[in-house]
Amino acid sequence: MARRAWRTRQKNGPGLLFILVALVVVAAAGARYVGLYAPEQPTLAPQWRAVKTEEEPPPTEEEVSRRTQEPVTVLVLHAHTSENYSPSPSHDKNGKGEIVTVGAEFCQAISEKGIKAINLKASFDAPKYSDAFKNAGEAVAKALAENPNIKAVIDIHRDGLPVQKDKDYTAAVAAGQRVAKILFVVGDVSNPNSSSNMAFAEAVKSRLDAMFAGVSRGIKVQHRNVNGNLHPNTLCAYIGDYNGNTLAEARASARLLADAVAGVLLAQAQEGMSVLPTTTP
């Protein structure tokens, strides 16, 4: 009898255990239903909503329009600020030569194309001519830091060729008038931007050739530092020559150069192209 009773209890045991487990599950479900059960992380949803509400809203159409209509800006200077054209003395004693007038003509012409020009008129080659590019570089670096949206740096010079050169070597006829030819110079010393400087010079020269054939004298690579490291779109433009051109011819050519530079920069802007970030000297 004792052995039979033990077998009966053994047989009925699992049924009782199942009933107890079921009761616990039902009790837990009831507690959750009436609000007695608290989730382990009740603040996840509110935290997610707080983050979503702090996101910056997308720009309005007016903001987008304003950003896309900001004018393209160029920086214009003259490392050799004292340069003159014949028959004036080759260099101005006060450090402000006729090349400054040529630069002002360029700035006026390019502004007429919708491009903003910042013109550095300080004297960089006085009192020590050999410090010209060093002094100009410091001024350019400062201007770029103050105006990070500058798209190109244009350093305008005039050449100083030997007197025996043919006078027409630096002169051409364009738009019905006699103008000074333009030589583009790229420096390859301490210049990680030499390739981009060359690409920019080639783009400007190509547009100048297409618009005013015969005005360009080509592109020359010089083994010197001409501050090309300060901006990928740095252009040294030698407008005319001291012996071979007059100030009037140089001013006329400056307007042609402005047309070419404006064409390149506006094409970049329209195509959504941007220059490489400005590098530090």
More confident residue, 175 or 152: 152
Lowest mean pLDDT among 8-17, 56-65, 203-212, 258-267: 8-17
Domains and CATH numbers, the chain: 2-53 (no CATH), 73-270 (3.40.630.40)
Least confident of 14-28, 34-48, 209-223: 34-48
- Is it the case that residue 147 has pLDDT exceeding 80? yes
Cα–Cα distance, 83 to 236 (Å, whole number): 15
Can you tell me the mean pLDDT for 175-203? 97
Could you tell me what percent of the chain has a pLDDT over 70?
A: 72
Entry pTM = 0.73
157 membership: H or E segment, kind and range:
strand 150-159
Which of the four pLDDT bands, split at 50, 70 and 90, describes residue 69? low
Kindly write down the DSSP assignment for every residue of 180-230, as one continuous string: E-EEEEEE-SS-TTHHHHHHHHHHHHHHHHHHSTT-EEEEEEESS--SGGG
∠ CA 95-100-103, nearest 5°, is 155
pLDDT in tens, 82-103: 999 999 999 999 899 999 999 9
Residue 162: helix, strand or coil by DSSP?
A: coil
pLDDT single digits (tens) 114-124: 999 999 999 99
Higher pLDDT pick, 13 / 140: 140
Residues 173-191 have a mean pLDDT of 96
51-55, 125-129, 220-224, 262-266, range with the lowest pLDDT: 51-55
pLDDT of residue 241: 96
pLDDT at 11: 45
pLDDT at 15: 58
